[in-house]
């Protein structure tokens, strides 16, 4: 599908071309092995950093390109097109879900110390806000941070943290107000090796096999006051602010995945023979694929338009909630039918469509479940 639209600059079109070449040459031939290993090698992330792909939104003074939201959408869509969701989310959590907290709220000292290494891929980041009993409901989180002189003492745990095992820098949310349901949340910068901070266990998942996911624990973890990120008790608003970017990016990733699945399936059904002719010559199949292609293209243009509006500084809570709900459901619908049209071969682990269908399932859950998104939309109708 032709991705060019009036929204993108020549520089952004060049970014898309270079990303697609890099993924085809450096990622696709090796990514199946990363699925077996359960992680994306640091070497490939450093290569991405050297190409500028990890610093698309970072300031030029820190080695970045200082692009707007559309740059993130290009990155997410091309990562989705790779067909390896675990690789895609490893990168996107680092570039668009974790490190933005430092970019938005970091002090000059914090930025100078950490951002160049995050842009280069020397350090990989994670964001830790989800808990076993607190996902979309941030106010219910139980991890606490108590001020004690020149430190905060963190206690609690975080669940389902991408890059949790192999990350270096963690942006952690904790309650700093009175116990109970409140929004007095603060953000902290934790680094691997801090006493009292560790990985409880890696988690095995249905899909996204090459992304490491972990449960994190904090046991009287002493964090210097200098590692407070932004203002105390204002972390809830920082988390909500970045969700606008995060959900737009997840929508772009999902549409990249859906587009690639349709390309693979259309090629397959044109070659696959049944009852004396190709599956493509079966009207029901080609009509279904045509309609899915139209819906994916419509959703993708919605993502592009919303990303452009976001780059103009507009507040778009309703629209990004629509993107997350729409694209998360649509990619799963696409994968279901694409696997169906592959027949038995689509159910075999060696099949790309089998892996992509497993990877897509989380798109209607992670980053805000569809049901939560629909309530966010309903509040604004």
Distances (CA, A) of 7 to 71, 248, 254, 310: 11, 15, 19, 12
Nearest to 168 by CA among 86, 46, 23, 31: 46
* Angle at CA of residue 212, ends 67 and 101, nearest 5°: 35
SS3 274: strand
**Does residue 246 carry a catalytic annotation?**
yes
Calpha distance 263→251 (Å, rounded) = 18
Distances (CA, A) of 371 to 75, 137, 298, 345, 362: 27, 12, 22, 33, 13
Strands 151-162 and 228-229, sheet pairing: unpaired
List own/partner pairs for 176-180 with CB under 8 A and 24 or more apart: 176/144, 176/145, 176/146, 176/147, 176/152, 176/232, 176/233, 176/235, 177/233, 179/144
Calpha distance 179→171 (Å, rounded) = 21
Q: Which residue has the tokens 């592959």?
A: 342
Catalytic residue among 246, 257, 319, 376: 246
Distances (CA, A) of 123 to 42, 114, 116: 9, 8, 9
Distances (CA, A) of 216 to 129, 151, 223, 368: 11, 20, 15, 20
Active site residues: 246
């Amino acid at each position: 599908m032709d991705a060019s639209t009036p929204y993108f600059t020549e520089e952004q079109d060049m970014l898309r071309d270079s990303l697609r070449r890099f993924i085809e040459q450096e990622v696709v031939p090796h990514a199946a092995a990363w699925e077996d290993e359960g992680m994306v090698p640091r070497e490939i992330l450093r290569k991405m950093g050297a190409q500028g792909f990890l610093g698309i939104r970072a300031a030029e003074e820190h080695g970045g390109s200082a692009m707007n939201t559309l740059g993130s959408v290009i990155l997410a869509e091309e990562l989705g097109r790779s067909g390896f969701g675990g690789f895609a989310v490893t990168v996107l959590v680092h570039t668009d879900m974790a490190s933005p907290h430092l970019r938005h709220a970091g002090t000059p000292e914090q930025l100078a110390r950490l951002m160049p290494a995050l842009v280069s891929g020397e350090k990989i980041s994670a964001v830790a806000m989800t808990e076993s009993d607190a996902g979309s409901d941030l106010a219910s989180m139980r991890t606490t941070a108590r001020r004690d002189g020149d430190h905060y003492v963190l206690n609690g745990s975080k669940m389902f943290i991408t890059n949790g095992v192999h990350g270096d820098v963690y942006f952690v949310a904790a309650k700093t107000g009175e116990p109970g349901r409140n929004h007095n949340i603060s953000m902290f910068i934790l680094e691997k090796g801090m006493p009292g901070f560790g990985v409880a266990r890696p988690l095995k998942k249905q899909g996204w096999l090459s992304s490491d996911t972990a449960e994190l624990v904090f046991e009287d973890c002493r964090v210097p006051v200098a590692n407070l990120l932004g203002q105390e008790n204002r972390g809830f608003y920082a988390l909500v602010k970045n969700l606008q970017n995060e959900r737009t990016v997840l929508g772009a990733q999902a549409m990249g995945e859906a587009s690639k699945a349709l390309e693979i399936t259309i090629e397959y059904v044109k070659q696959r023979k049944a009852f004396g002719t190709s599956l493509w010559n079966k009207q029901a199949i080609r009509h279904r694929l045509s309609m899915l292609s139209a819906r994916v293209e419509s959703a993708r243009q919605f993502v592009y338009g919303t990303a452009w509006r976001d780059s103009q500084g507009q507040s778009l809570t309703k629209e990004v909630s629509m993107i997350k709900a729409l694209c998360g459901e649509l990619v799963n619908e696409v994968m279901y039918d694409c696997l169906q049209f592959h027949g038995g071969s689509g159910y075999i682990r060696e099949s790309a469509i089998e892996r992509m269908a497993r990877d897509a399932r989380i798109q209607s859950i992670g980053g805000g479940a569809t049901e939560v998104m629909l309530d966010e939309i309903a509040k604004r109708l």
